[in-house]
């Protein structure tokens, strides 16, 4: 008969810190008192689905478990026992975390199902419930906060081994037909780098320029285009202190190469994502947002009451509207209507459309900006 054990608890630590420890499939010998020593077979990453951990318990038993699912967006992992000296059969367990709204704490749910030899049902249910789950809850709550933030292996050996991935490569310059999806191996992060399991990749005009060969110095052949992406940190190289495994992040990198499922990048180009920003949004707007900010603050030096010309690009126009700057766009266009909804002066938003090359445009902009609204 199939047995089931379910336990849960509240951990007084933020979900990112707890997840950084639990998503590491080889961390339990650092925080669980019953585990003596553990290793990942074959040198694979401890966050790679399919990896196998082989470990010994302090009572002398040995277990081999396989990671069969891992979701950084749901804070959820599932694993199973492949073989063990403990008589647990068809054992499958799932760990799920959820943020607690009352304070920066974490709800931890741990459940499993398994079969046992006849007559051992209660004994093995109690062993899993108390000796594994409840003891594990208590052990992790005592785990040092610094280790929780940096991952259980933060002070141990840094990551080794390549990770299998897919990438979109350009073999020769040309049209989109020159893009080819191929298999690749991603080396471990070097000093000052993090390795990221990417969930979303941004697509930009510069990717087209690189693919066509307009800037060959940036993308020697064969090369992988792409300047930005978002995902989850899986491991970090030496010298990285601000990022840890389990962090949801996005990056904008000066070197192309984001059209990959996994990538190692310099940590200085990476930012952590707040809970309210998903990976797809971050990957789509990071480069555009930085570009708009540069044009408005550094190049254009827009300040209140100063008239600025903006082409109908949503990122730059929205920033101008929010700051009360002058906007000019086609009166019937969606950007123009959006500007009016966001509070741009009606006269400015509905001003006569002209191309930037139109004679007298600067004077026209000054007249519109100076007119009463």
CA distance 194 to 47: 14
Q: Give pLDDT, residue 250.
A: 92
pLDDT surpassing 50 at residue 13: yes
- Which tens digit of pLDDT belongs to each residue from 216-237? 999 999 999 999 999 888 888 8
Q: Which helix (H) or strand (E) holds 368?
A: helix 361-370
Find how far residue 273's CA is from the centre of its chain: 7
pLDDT in tens, 287-326: 888 888 777 777 766 666 666 655 544 444 444 444 444 3
Residue 160 · residue 238 · CB < 8 Å: no
95/227 Cα distance (integer angstroms) = 34
* Domains contained in the chain, CATH given: 3-150 (3.30.530.20), 163-286 (3.90.180.10), 302-370 (no CATH)
pLDDT at 153: 44
The model's pLDDT over 67-122, given as tens digits with 9 standing for 90+, comes to 999 988 788 999 999 999 999 999 999 999 998 877 778 999 999 999 999 999 99
The string of pLDDT tens digits covering residues 36-67 is 999 999 888 888 889 999 999 999 999 999 99
Predicted local distance difference test score (pLDDT) of residue 109: 96
**pLDDT at residue 152 tops 90:** no
Q: What's the pTM value of the predicted model, to 2 decimals? A: 0.50
Which whole number is the average pLDDT over 119-145? 88
Higher-scoring residue by pLDDT: 261, 325: 261
**Averaged pLDDT, 348-371:** 43
Determine the pLDDT at residue 304: 67
Cα–chain center distance at 226: 16
- The sign of the torsion formed by the CA atoms of 40, 44, 48, 49 equals negative
pLDDT bracket for residue 353 (50, 70, 90): very low
Task: Reply yes or no on whether the pLDDT at 238 is more than 90.
Answer: no
Residue 352 has pLDDT above 50, yes or no: no
Give the pLDDT band (50/70/90) at residue 6: very high
The average pLDDT across 152-164 equals: 55
Rounded to whole angstroms, how far apart are CA atoms 190 and 210? Answer: 26
Per-residue pLDDT tens over the stretch 331-343:
444 444 544 454 4
Query: Average pLDDT in the 247-257 region?
Result: 89
pLDDT tens for residues 162-212? Answer: 788 889 999 999 999 999 999 888 888 889 999 988 889 999 889 999 999
pLDDT surpasses 60 at 266 = yes
At residue 307, the pLDDT reads 60
Q: Is the pLDDT of residue 366 over 50?
A: no
Tokens encoding 176: 């989109």
- For residue 244, CA distances in Å to 6, 232, 235 come to 29, 9, 7
What is the reported pLDDT for 341?
Answer: 53
- Is 266 strand, coil or helix? strand
Distance separating alpha carbons of residues 345 and 319, to the nearest angstrom: 14
């Amino acid at each position: 008969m199939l047995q089931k054990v379910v336990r849960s608890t509240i951990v007084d630590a933020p979900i990112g810190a707890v997840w950084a420890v639990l998503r590491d499939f080889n961390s339990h010998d650092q925080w669980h008192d019953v585990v003596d020593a553990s290793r990942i077979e074959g040198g694979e990453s401890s966050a790679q689905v399919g990896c196998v951990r082989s470990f010994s318990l302090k009572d002398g038993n040995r277990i081999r478990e396989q990671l069969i699912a891992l979701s950084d967006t749901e804070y959820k992992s599932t694993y199973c026992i492949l073989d063990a000296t403990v008589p647990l059969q068809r054992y499958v367990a799932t760990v799920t975390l959820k943020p607690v709204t009352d304070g920066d704490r974490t709800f931890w749910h741990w459940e499993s199902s398994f079969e046992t030899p006849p007559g051992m049902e209660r004994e093995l249910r109690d062993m899993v419930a108390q000796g594994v789950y409840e003891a594990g809850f208590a052990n992790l709550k005592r785990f040092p906060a610094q280790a929780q933030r940096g991952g259980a292996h933060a002070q141990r050996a840094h990551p080794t081994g390549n990770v299998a991935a897919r990438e979109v490569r350009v073999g020769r310059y040309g049209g989109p037909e020159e893009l080819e999806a191929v298999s690749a191996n991603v080396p471990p992060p070097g000093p000052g780098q993090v390795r990221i399991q990417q969930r979303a990749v941004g697509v930009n005009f510069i990717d087209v320029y690189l693919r066509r060969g307009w800037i060959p110095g940036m993308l020697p052949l064969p090369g992988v285009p792409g300047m930005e992406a978002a995902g989850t940190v899986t491991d970090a190289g030496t010298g990285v202190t601000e990022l840890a495994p389990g962090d949801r992040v996005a990056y904008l990198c000066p070197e192309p190469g984001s059209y990959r499922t996994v990538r190692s990048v310099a940590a200085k180009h990476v930012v952590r994502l707040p809970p309210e920003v998903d990976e797809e949004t971050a990957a789509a707007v990071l480069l555009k947002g930085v570009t708009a900010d540069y044009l408005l603050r550094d190049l254009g030096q827009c300040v209140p009451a100063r008239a600025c010309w903006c082409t109908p690009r949503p990122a730059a126009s929205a920033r101008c509207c929010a700051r009360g700057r002058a906007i000019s766009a086609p009166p019937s266009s969606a950007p123009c209507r959006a500007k009016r909804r966001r509070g741009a002066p009606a006269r400015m938003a509905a001003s006569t459309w002209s191309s930037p090359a139109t004679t007298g445009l600067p004077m026209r902009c000054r007249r519109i900006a100076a007119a009463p609204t």
